[in-house]
Amino acid sequence: MGDINVIELVLLAIVTFIFAIDQFSLTELVYRPMIACPIIGVILGDPATGLAIGGTYELMMVGNMPIGGAQPPNAVLGGIVAMIFAVKADMPINTALGACMIFATFGQYVVTLVFTATSALMAKADKAAAEANPKGITACLNIHMGGLGLLFAVIAIVAYVGGTAAAPALESFAANFSWVMAGLGAAGAMMRFVGFSILMKIMMAADLWGWLLAGFALVQLFGGLDATKSAALILVAFVGIAIALLDFRINSLAKNAEGGMSDGI
């Protein structure tokens, strides 16, 4: 059985409580994997893995957005489990990401369950609004957010204790059933492209495909040179920013020439 660090456990529960609320309130940004996973990495003593998993998991989740009552795989629980598997069970990053999707999907049902259970608060909130009682509305919101955060914190504690305790068994399973772990690794490596493809399907305009292909070409060019390969993505990002600013400038001049600019995306 692995060692359970009480300080890690308490800090993980606290940040998970905050992340759970942040999904729908507060900043709606801190819970994203690219921010949450590095924070969890610091707590677990491996910030480098937190950065790697956070960046990769963000690509997996970037195109998944809740629509009405339909919830996508949960970014918070998936990131926590991926970090526990990678740090505590010493799983490769891609394998941990592949395995965490089961728990991320479970998180989808947890959110739906909480929303269903707290839907009774809507009547109380409507009554408070009709009575011009802001404290009553705030109380309903606090009950909902507190319940959601507490449930996520409990799940995070169970995941930490269970993942730490199961670390030797997971390592033995990985050694004896390497083909299963290889499959999870392949799935985890593939999911980042699936997530980004979902986003592109929503946002990609036909006239932008040339810029996308040019970006791939620039990555290959910069990445193939010893002097620039360590900063290839940053260099391509700077080129992209320059092109975006130039395009905005050209479009601004064109719209001003036509009689002014209008709001929009």
What is the per-residue pLDDT for 1?
43
CA distances from 169 to 4, 101, 154, 161 (A): 16, 20, 23, 14
In the predicted structure, residue 66 carries a pLDDT above the cut 90:
no
**Same domain, yes or no: 199 and 210:** no
Instruction: Choose the final residue of a domain: 185, 204, 223.
Output: 204
Asked if residue 168 and residue 59 are part of one domain, the reply reads yes
Mean per-residue pLDDT, 126-135: 85
**Nearest alpha carbon to residue 36 among 77, 91, 90, 87:** 77
Q: Read off the amino acid at residue 188.
A: G
Q: Answer yes or no: is pLDDT of 103 > 70.
A: yes
Predicted pLDDT of residue 42: 92
* Overall domain count for the chain: 2
Query: Would the pLDDT of 17 be above 60?
Result: yes
Task: Tell whether 94 and 192 lie within a shared domain.
Answer: yes
* pLDDT winner (highest mean) among 73-77, 151-155, 170-174: 151-155
Whole-angstrom Cα distance, residue 122 to residue 205? 40
Pull the structure tokens for residue 35.
């921010």
pLDDT digits (tens, 9 = 90+) for 197-243: 766 776 667 777 788 788 888 888 888 888 888 888 888 888 889 98
- Asked if 261 and 133 sit in the same domain, the reply is no
| Together in a domain, 120 and 225 | no
Determine, yes or no, domain membership for 1: no
Q: Per residue in 20-53, pLDDT tens? A: 888 888 787 888 888 999 999 999 888 998 998 8
Cα distance between residue 231 and residue 229, in whole Å:
5
- Asked if residue 79 and residue 35 are part of one domain, the reply reads yes
pLDDT bin (cut points 50, 70, 90) of residue 170 is low
The residues facing 70 across adjacent strands are: 67
Q: Phi and psi at residue 70, in whole multiples of 5°?
A: -85, 120
Same domain for 250 and 230?
yes
Cβ-Cβ contacts under 8 Å for 141 (sequence gap 6 or more): 25, 125
On whether residue 139 sits in a domain, the answer given is yes
Residue 118: its pLDDT value, please? Answer: 80
What is the pLDDT, as a whole number, of residue 181? 65
Looking at the fold, whether 222 and 189 belong to one and the same domain comes out as no
Let me know whether 213 and 187 are in one domain: no
The confidence score (pLDDT) of residue 216 equals 82
| Mean pLDDT of all residues belonging to the chain | 80
- The answer on 239 and 140 residing in a single domain is no
Q: Which of 152, 184, 204 is the last residue of a domain?
A: 204
Q: Provide the residue range defining the domain that includes 187.
A: 6-204
Whether 89 and 181 have beta carbons less than 8 Å apart is answered as no
